[in-house]
Amino acid sequence: MLDIRQIRENLPTVQELLNRRGEYDLQPILELDEQQRQLETERSQLQARSNQIGKQVGEKIKSGSDPKGPEVQALKDEGNQIKTQLSELEPREKEIKAKIETLLLPLPNLPSESTPLGKSEAENIEVKRWGDEYIPKNPKIIPHYEIGEKLGILDFERGVKIAQSRFVALIGAGAALERAIIQFMLNRHIQAGYVEVMAPLLVNSQSLTATGQLPKFAEDSFKCEADDLWLIPTSEVSTMNLYRDEILTAEQLPIYHCAYTPCFRREAGAYGKDTRGLIRLHQFNKVEMVKIVHPDRSEEEHQKLVADAEAILQALKLPYRIIELCTGDLGFSAAKCYDLEVWLPSSGTYREISSCSNVKDFQARRANIRFKEGKKKGTKYVHALNGSGLAVGRTMAAILENYQQVDGSVKIPEVLQAFMGREFL
């Protein structure tokens, strides 16, 4: 959530940064903010006078005035009148604050000054390619979903029968490969200093609001109406909310977490895209990395986060590229983002497999996660970062294509062979 004080005190800068992402009118927020501050001033003045009256009543009685006399009674009557005014002001102020929050919640994060300007993904910038030597020379590579069905390890038809379209059943070596990929990723991230988390897959509305999924992405999420619980779209939600409404110490930072979970996305706006295969399912597995850090370190930690995601692709020897997202393609909560895209030879293109975002204090404000430094007065909001390490289904798709052999078999990447107990599928 954006800082109302920042909007108030730096309106031209905030408006200019928001304009890089789209059209947003801040005037209604500023008008409500002015009303709220006027009420706050009035309430403070009344409260001060109420305190003064209480003191005066005590002094007069102490000096010998009749507690029921007209002088004391006049003060008491004024005090009662002030209490009535305060009881009317407080709900009005609370109502305006709620309206301000309602208008702030749909506003996206401000892009970093270094985020490239652009209106759409066409203006994203490629910053790196890796692994061209691992691009397969086999000219007859077929899509991952076809080779998976031929090998009997992916069953889309039965997945649809059990649920609906965009679900899949993994059979035999397919299930084992998915499990091996997950275990390999977790092991690598734990070795890199991340602490594994296994948190609830169902979360309340407050948790989704804290990380930016609500209210904007309600239609893309699966909700259990009777319980006000939602299936998580990413374990970033559960992991960040471990610390909601907490004040940490500077010594606790940085906090590194990794988590494997199934993820659930309705993807209401994506129908007609990637209807076959593992690229865009309603239920998919993902290993997520989440960092909670000191604001002074967030840019450095962002680069390290990207490197940690890269390390998985490099260990698997899967060709990829890194794209820096422009302002028009940034995710809602991100201030700066790099997408890692893996090579899929059947379509001759790179596809996103990880999105590594620095959201700065945007989620911390929504989740009220702060930290205190030593003996300094007050608290500051932490900075948060998140990235896939990696999307497991898309990793399997990349393996099934990049490791496909001329005879129709698929070689298992060396780093996964010990988990699988075999060399080929």
Residues 94 and 114: their CA atoms lie apart, in Å, by 37
Given the residues 101, 146, 352, 373, the one annotated as active site: 352
User: Three-class SS of residue 115?
Assistant: coil
How many alpha carbons lie under 13 Å from residue 41 in its C-beta half-sphere?
6
Other CB atoms within 10 Å distance of the CB of residue 318: 24
Catalytic annotation present for 265: yes
Catalytic annotation present for 355: yes
Per the CB < 8 A criterion, the answer to whether 320 and 417 are in contact is no
Catalytic annotation present for 333: no
Catalytic annotation present for 37: no
Catalytic annotation present for 352: yes
Given the residues 21, 166, 188, 265, the one annotated as active site: 265
* One-letter amino acid for residue 309 of the chain: A
Structure tokens, 6: 């920042």
β 370-372/247-249 pair status: parallel
Residues 280 and 166: their CA atoms lie apart, in Å, by 7
User: Three-class SS of residue 354?
Assistant: strand
In this structure, the dihedral spanned by the alpha carbons of residues 48, 54, 60 and 63, taken in order and rounded to 10 degrees, is: -110
Question: Residues, the chain, total?
Answer: 425
Per the CB < 8 A criterion, the answer to whether 316 and 399 are in contact is yes
Given the residues 188, 280, 365, 370, the one annotated as active site: 280
Residues 9 and 5: their CA atoms lie apart, in Å, by 6
Residues 395 and 97: their CA atoms lie apart, in Å, by 45
- Cis, bond preceding 28 (omega within 30 deg of 0): no
Given the residues 355, 366, 370, 401, the one annotated as active site: 355
Other CB atoms within 10 Å distance of the CB of residue 207: 23
Compute φ and ψ for 153, nearest 5 degrees.
-110, -15
* Nearest Cα residue to 338 out of 385, 291, 285, 278: 385
Residues 152 and 2: their CA atoms lie apart, in Å, by 50
The CA-atom distances, in angstroms, between 111 and each of 49, 225, 242 are: 45, 34, 26
Give DSSP secondary structure letters for 152-178: TSEEHHHHHHHS-TT--EE-THHHHHH
Active site residues: 265, 280, 352, 355, 394
